[in-house]
Amino acid sequence: MLQTIQLSKSFGGLPALRDVDIEIRPHEVVGLVGENGAGKSTLMKILAGVQQPTSGSLRRDGVPFVVHNPREAAALGIGMVFQEQSLLPNISVAENLFLGREAEFTRFGLMNWRRLHAAARRELQRVGLDIDPGRRTAELSFAARQMVELAKALSLEERVRGELVILLDEPTSVLERAEIERLFARVQDLRNRASFVFVSHRLDEVLALSDRVYVLKDGSVVATLPAAEANVTQLHRLMVGRALNAEYYMESDQAPYAPEVVLQARGLGVVGAYRDVNFELHRGEVLAIAGVIGSGREELVRSIFGFLPHTEGELRVNGLAVRLATPADAVAQGIGYVPRERRTEGLVTLLSVAQNITLANLDSVLHGVRIDYGQERTLAEDWVKRLHIRTAGVDMPCGSLSGGNQQKVVLAKWLTARSRILILDHPTRGLDVGAKEEVYRLVRALCRDGLSVVMTADTLEETIGLAHTILVMRDGNVTAVFDAVPGAKPVQLDLIEHMV
Amino acid sequence: MRVPFAGFSAARLREFAPALVLAALVVLLAVSTPGFGTPETLLVVLADTATLFVLGVGLTFVILIGGIDLSIQAVASLSSVVVAMLVPRLGYAAFPAALGAGLLCGLFSGIAHVKLHVPSFIATLAASGVAGGIALLVSGARAVTIGEAGRAYLQWVAGSVLGIPAIILLGAMVLVAGMLVQRYTPFGRYGLAIGAGEAAALASGVRVDRHKMAALAVSGVLASLAGIFLAARMASGSPMLANQLMLPAVAAVLVGGTAITGGVGGVGRTLIGALIVSVVRIGMTFLGVNIFAQQILFGAVLIVAVALTIDRSKIPIVK
Amino acid sequence: MSVSSGPSPLALPGRERRALYRARLRAWAPLLVLIGLCLLIDIGNPRFLTIANLVRVATAAAIPLVLALGTTFVILLGSIDLSLEGVLAVGSVLTSLLAANDANSLSFGLAVVPVAVLAGALIGALNGALHVGFRIPSFMVTLGIWFAGVGLATVLLGGGTVRVLEPLVRDVALTRVLDLPVLVWIALAVLLLAWVIQEYTPLGRYMYVIGGGEDIAALSGIPINRTKVAVFTLAGAFYGLGGVMAAAQLGVGNAMIGDGRLFPSVTAVVVGGTSLIGGEGGVLNSLVGVMIVTVLANGLVLLGVSPYLQQAIQGLMIIAAVAVSIDRVRSAIVK
């Protein structure tokens, strides 16, 4: 009934989906599972009209179609309940339910609130929500808003004839037991009118609700199986695949770390994000943090760099308790940050290579208050040579460099700032294989020189391959700590068990 | 800011456009109006531009980081009132007092913007109200003339040195200081970084808050310096003295090529912009266009300048 | 992140509930400030709460209210309209030149009103078109139009001032109905119109949607560009009407008639509780805000405080209002 044929999507040359063939038949619930970055969200967004595919086609009942926005998708009976909520907090529930459809509720050009609210109440009843539709959406709990989103997607029922396709993107991650059951009951009730695509990292739920399951890995469909015949372990294995050659991560270069503790966390927490995190980072160690979205690992990393000051517990740098209120505080403590968003947070793309390299430590080229351009150039050229940065010159704007070379400039910046602790946030995102290799080599070299690294990686493979120690997080807590000594590294299955 | 030579591209052309426009205008005016090309007239043009330029330099630093300062005319007026009222009593000490007033206004905007997270245009609009109110109060809402005795203290601005009006020399000093600060000091470098990529600057440990405060403070001080210039030229101070200067100042900065989105431009460009504004004003006066009608032109020019220089990739949603 | 368990799974957890109560309290703050202000001034000078004085306050608030209502709509979008003074000038000049006056022999009577309003609407439409068509930030476009408008008004007048002689126009300010000048009734009518637009028309609802989340609005098929142009046009029309009212009240038309009216207007809107980010607030908020600003001015006179301090106090008020209301989470980078 809904089909994708050879669907592919690339972001800036990097593939997120490769030749994906998926079929959603009438009256079925299809589960979609995969690691972070496997392409689940991208696939859903294309189906819902939020993004356009780079190539491939979509078919509805055999007829090819193209949608440019969710409204057009809705006209075809495809609705989505988003992971990041798409409700406007400042208007009423009723207005959110019928956003874009106000014209259906006007009389002589004026809004007929009674009719709108009555219609809204009907939709809300469908998901068992008994609230006043005139209430401001911001006043509802997160869970209630999720149900309103579901009601909104289900309201397609009234507008579109024929079968609906409802896409559920991680709908249960913030719901309580009772609400999840209510959601599942609704889904069952609506089977005769709609098919569902259910994305979740909670594999047990996916298996409980779905008829069939697709497994995505690295943007491709690696398996499709009936839910009745599958189990969680099997899915895990399919999601992560075989382990790669250990030397890809230069594990033989992984030297043991020194006993000296450079960074220590005790009971660290940020209300609403993560709690009770404890770790000790040693000189020369790579500490990797694994977890899915919502696990709290992103926030933890932001806290260590001063973007998100911790509200509980304490953080000690070289034994001294610190409070990092801004990134500048973190930099002053010798912490550097190689961000995920290279082009917005890592580099000022309009400025030159040399200007970016000195940005975190202008003092290195200052004589009093005067910037010595000659010295700056020499410094930059030195780094270009040492890190093999490919650029036409240190005066070139950073925006003209390739991703891998940009990453090296960011590293050069922190080395110029003499950071002793480096935070690597998805350091190989958007890089090709050769560039990734260079990054791994650099990480090993940095550790040998006595730097310490806190890392969140894109894939579990990378996490395991590069790390000395792995912290696994889920729902804001640390659920496991693994030692990752070369030759005795944990397997991905071990990690996933504690992540999802 | 150094941009590497990339051949004849549209961007290169845009970079030189203001200078070319200025050259064209000067030639046009020199050809069509006798007496324009003489050294005397040129000195008058430069002297007229000096005040506008100084006003524009402070504004440039704020616009470079992506903000705006709408308080400059009120601060300049306040400064002129301070000078007019204090010169008879305090002599030369009146000048630091005026600059101090400008500094305080700048810090007021800075605190509101940085500590209270108020958008810069509201923070500076509010500062404009406060400065204007104080100026009105202190002066009794009328112009305060500076008597014979007081005028002696203003000679360092109103007089001449070797035939060149002192105000031009002072303006030149501000130009040189501004360019040096911009190019060679951390303040200049950080301002560029914040304007071109605030997120990256923040993530590199730049103390963005401190810089923004400083930029607004500098703008306040320079606006008050402009006020001192005005007081010297008019031999009086008034709470309305700098009215009608806001639009030309903003026009000077934007027409000179500094983008409202920040990160591109600078003090040198503002000089060219200020000269363009001055020359256009003189030209229009020669043509008999009254000063208010000139506003229509400047209004249109402003919109066009922004449309051309704005970097839309920086603001995904234009409000 | 899991929602903590409470009596009902759909109820707000403690922390969120407290934030909700704080938000509700903040919503009532402007009205409480107004009431407090009135009481304080009356204590300082009992002549404040007399019929005669309240009529004076209402009369003084009439034009600012009409202006603030236009500004409110634009601010609800998340934009700003700085052209108020220019459009008002054009409106007043057109009024004074087309109705019976001392400069020419034209005499169109009350027909000038729609002409001035239309002129204002056209300028507003220009604002909207430039903003939307060239994607230039609204404050830049309206800054340019502000001065262009003042310039245009001067050009139309040929410099100087024109006196309005048309009795029908002057009566707008001079005649009283129920002891209040017609001006005030016009302002109240405009308030009602604005409120109906805001609460009962799709256009009004779209203002909140665009201000609350323009990206989501776009995905939902809301006609964003059309709405923005319509809102700026509406604001321009209000300013044009304000120009007519100003010409009637002062009996003259000149280009400086709008001088100094922008700041109190923006102050009133912000102090009344309408957020500069957009999507929050509305016409009733602005009514309270205008009353606060007008009462303050009246009070300063009654208390013998220098009226020159008015703008200084307004400046402090606007900062306080914005600082208190700004949603820090939503806008991490403030420009």
> What pLDDT, on a 0 to 100 scale, did the predictor assign at position B1?
41
CA A102 to chain C, closest CA, distance in angstroms equals: 6
Q: Whole-angstrom Cα distance, residue C201 to residue A423?
A: 52
Residues of C in contact with A159 (CB under 8 A): none
B312–A contact, CB cutoff 8 A = no
Report the pLDDT value the prediction gives residue C140, as an integer from 0 to 100.
84
With vertex at residue C221, the alpha carbon angle to CA C217 and CA C222, rounded to the nearest 5 degrees, is 55
Cα A60 off chain centre by: 30
A493 contacts A236 by C-beta, under 8 angstroms: yes
The radius of gyration of chain A's CA atoms, rounded to the nearest angstrom, is 25
Q: Does the C30-322 domain belong in CATH 1.10.3470?
A: yes
Please give, rounded to a whole number of angstroms, the shortest distance from the CA of B187 to a CA of chain A.
9
Judge contact between C107 and C99, C-beta under 8 A.
yes
- ipTM score: 0.85
Q: Report yes or no: C211 at the A interface, CB cutoff 8 Å.
A: yes
pLDDT tens for chain C, residues 1 to 335: 333 332 344 555 666 677 777 777 777 888 888 988 898 888 888 888 888 999 999 999 999 999 999 999 999 999 999 999 999 999 999 988 888 777 777 777 788 899 999 999 999 999 999 999 988 888 889 988 988 898 888 888 876 778 877 777 788 788 888 888 899 999 999 999 999 999 999 999 999 999 988 888 887 888 999 999 999 999 999 999 999 999 999 888 888 888 889 989 998 998 898 988 889 899 999 999 999 999 988 988 888 888 888 888 888 888 888 877 665 444 445 56
The predicted pLDDT at position C329 comes to 42
* Tens of pLDDT, residues B7-57: 445 566 667 778 888 888 888 777 777 767 777 778 888 888 999 999 999
Tell me which of C15, C16, C199, C216 to substitute to probe the interface with A (most A C-beta atoms closer than 10 Å).
Answer: C216
pLDDT of residue C9: 43
Chains touching C (at least 3 CB pairs under 8 A) are A, B
- Is C328 within 8 Å of chain A by CB? no
Say if residue A225's pLDDT is above 70. Answer: yes
Which of these, C162, C151, C135, lies nearest to C83 by C-alpha position? C151
Contact B197 A397 (CB under 8 A): no
Are the CB atoms for B132 and C264 separated by under 8 Å? Answer: no
Query: Rounded mean pLDDT of B257-269?
Result: 83
- Report d(CA B105, CA A406) in Å as an integer: 41
| DSSP codes, B103-162 | HHHHHHHHHHHHTS---HHHHHHHHHHHHHHHHHHHHTTS-EE--HHHHHHTHHHHSEET
Please write down the long-range contacts of B153-160, taking CB distance under 8 Å and 24 or more positions apart: B153/B87, B153/B91, B153/B92, B153/B94, B154/B83, B154/B87, B154/B231, B154/B232, B154/B235, B157/B228, B157/B229, B157/B232, B157/B233, B158/B232, B158/B233, B158/B235
A186-190, B202-206, B213-217: least confidently modelled range: A186-190
Share in percent of chain B as helix, strand, coil (round to 5):
75, 5, 25
* Interface contact B183-A330, CB threshold 8 A: no
The rounded distance, in Å, linking the Cα atoms of A405 and A387 is 9
What rounded mean pLDDT belongs to chain A?
86
Helix (H) or strand (E) holding A88: none
- A353 CB burial (10 A radius; 0-12, 13-18, 19+): buried
Average pLDDT, integer, range A448-452: 92
Tell me which of 3.40.50.300, 3.40.50.2300, 3.50.50.60, 1.10.1050.10 is the CATH number of domain A2-240: 3.40.50.300
For residues B202 and C164, the model is more confident at B202
- pLDDT tens-digit readout, B74-120: 999 999 999 999 998 888 899 999 999 999 999 999 999 998 888 88
Distance from CA of B111 to the nearest CA of C (A): 10
Q: Are C97 and C104 within 8 A, CB to CB?
A: yes
Task: Give the 3-state secondary structure of residue B239.
Answer: coil
pLDDT of residue A123: 87
Cα atoms in the Cβ-side hemisphere of radius 13 Å centred on A189:
11
Looking at residue B255, its pLDDT comes to 85
List the structure tokens of B23.
Answer: 């050259």
**First-to-last CA distance in chain B?**
28
- Find the distance separating the first CA and the last CA of chain C, reported in whole Å: 31
Instruction: Say which amino acid occupies A24.
Output: I
Q: What is the pLDDT of residue C160?
A: 72
pLDDT cut 90: percent of chain B above it: 43
pLDDT at B13: 63
Going by C-alpha positions, the residue among A163, A144, A31, A53 that lies closest to residue A93 is A144
pLDDT in tens, A314-356: 999 998 999 999 999 999 999 999 998 888 889 998 899 999 9
Helix count and strand count (H, E) for chain B: 14, 4
Domain edges within chain C: 30-322
Residue with tokens 């090709």: A432
Q: Record the tokens describing residue C257, joined without a space.
A: 């008639």
Question: Residue type for C174, please?
Answer: L
Q: Which of B2-6, B312-316, C81-85 has the lowest mean pLDDT?
A: B2-6
Q: How far is CA A224 from the centre of its chain?
A: 24
Q: Which one of A148-157, A213-222, A297-306 scores highest in mean pLDDT?
A: A297-306
Which chains would you list as touching A if contact means 3+ CB atom pairs under 8 Å? B, C
Axis-axis angle for helices C84-98, C138-157 (nearest 10): 20
DSSP A153-203: HHTHHHH--S-EEEEEESTTTT--HHHHHHHHHHHHHGGGTEEEEEE-S-H
Q: Are A2-240 and A246-499 the same fold in CATH?
A: yes
Coil, helix or strand at residue C113: helix
Distance from CA of C195 to the nearest CA of A (A): 12
A305 touches chain B (CB under 8 A): yes
Q: Are B122 and C319 in contact (CB < 8 Å)?
A: yes
Q: Regarding the domain delimited by A246-499, which CATH topology (the fold level of the hierarchy) does it fall under?
A: Rossmann fold (3.40.50)
Per-residue pLDDT, A491: 81
Choice among A223-237, A277-291, A430-444, C16-30 with the minimum mean pLDDT = C16-30
**Pair C170, C244: CB distance under 8 Å:** no
Chain B residues within an 8 Å CB radius of C143:
247, 250, 299, 302
Whether B186 contacts chain A with CB within 8 A: yes
State which residue of chain C sits closest to A152, comparing Cα positions: C220
Q: How sure is the predictor about A173, in pLDDT bands with cuts at 50, 70 and 90? A: low
